[in-house]
Amino acid sequence: MRSEAATLLVSLALLAGPAQAAAEAASAPAQPVTREQVNREVEALRQDPNLAGKRKEKTLRFKDRGDAKKKPPDAKNDGTWAWLRDFARWLTEAGRVAVWVVAAVLVALLLVGLRHWMRVRAGAVKGSTAGPLPSHVRDLDIRPESLPERIGEAAAALWQKGEHRAALSLLYRGALSRLVHQHQVPIRAASTEGECLALAARRLPPERSAYFGRLVQAWQVAVYGARLPEDASVIALCREFDEQLRRTGAPA
């Protein structure tokens, strides 16, 4: 019991010492704080690691699903697509240029062909005799050397043998050859039957022009109408051929 009482007294004495010192400090007059003391305290605070200006801390947080879907752009793939876009753009521009070039060439060819056609038609209609004489009219050979000496008789012989198309072709070819080479009718290679009639009417007397009209009509009926003229009309054409379309300088 005595030992416990002694221990209690010592403890009270230890506690009473700091309390008395604090009371004395409080009752003592306050001393002014100097600049040196402030500087020492500030330096001490700076040296404290727990009061540093910057600290690195690691924390855990849940990852946003939207961030997981976002992927950085692939520089290689982006370059490939850019090249393909440039190539497609170039193809588009090149194709546009090619279309314009082809269109210009076609227009130029059309104009050249139209000019040639107009010159041929103008020469045929106006009766121009400039240029070489044609050897063919359409697909018909009108060269004098390709025809027999007596065309009317040869055509009549063909008709009587049943070669009707050949007989009419010989009459029409022979008439065109005589008109071009003997009567200077300006028939051209591209002249149609109607144009040949119009040109012949300007150069031939009415009777001969009418004969050529009957001959052209018989030819058109057989070729385009798919029917043969009457035998009597064809024989009359053959008999009158050399009389109506005689050679220049031949006796009447």
User: pLDDT tens across 19-51, in order?
Assistant: 554 455 455 555 666 778 777 776 776 776 665
Cα separation of the two ends of the chain: 188
Domain ends where: 126, 159, 188?
126
Q: Do residues 97 and 176 both lie within one domain?
A: no
Establish if 196 belongs to a structural domain.
Answer: yes
Distances 224 to 56, 218, 219, 220, 227 between C-alpha atoms, Å: 107, 10, 8, 5, 8
Instruction: Single out the residue of 98, 238, 131 nearest to residue 229, CA to CA.
Output: 238
Which pLDDT band holds residue 73 (cuts at 50, 70, 90)?
low
Q: Is the pLDDT of residue 10 over 60?
A: no
Establish if 200 belongs to a structural domain.
Answer: yes
What are 98-137's pLDDT values in tens digits? 777 778 888 888 888 777 666 655 555 554 445 688 999 9
Instruction: Single out the residue of 106, 224, 124 nearest to residue 165, CA to CA.
Output: 224
Distance CA 224, CA 237 (A): 19
Distance CA 212, CA 218 (A): 10
Q: Do residues 228 and 145 both lie within one domain?
A: yes
**Which CATH number is 236's domain given?**
1.20.120
CB 176 within 8 A of CB 168: no
Q: Do residues 204 and 119 both lie within one domain?
A: no
Establish if 108 belongs to a structural domain.
Answer: yes
User: For residue 101, what are the domain limits?
Assistant: 80-126
Q: Do residues 190 and 98 both lie within one domain?
A: no
Q: Do residues 145 and 121 both lie within one domain?
A: no
SS3 of 140, please? strand
Q: In total, how many domains does the chain have?
A: 2
Q: Do residues 167 and 186 both lie within one domain?
A: yes
What is the pLDDT, as a whole number, of residue 54? Answer: 60
Q: Do residues 145 and 232 both lie within one domain?
A: yes
Establish if 8 belongs to a structural domain.
Answer: no
- Locate 105 and state its tokens: 């060439």
What is the pLDDT, as a whole number, of residue 14? Answer: 47
Distance CA 242, CA 209 (A): 14
Q: Is the pTM of this model over 0.85?
A: no
Q: Is the pLDDT of residue 16 over 80?
A: no
Distance CA 139, CA 135 (A): 10
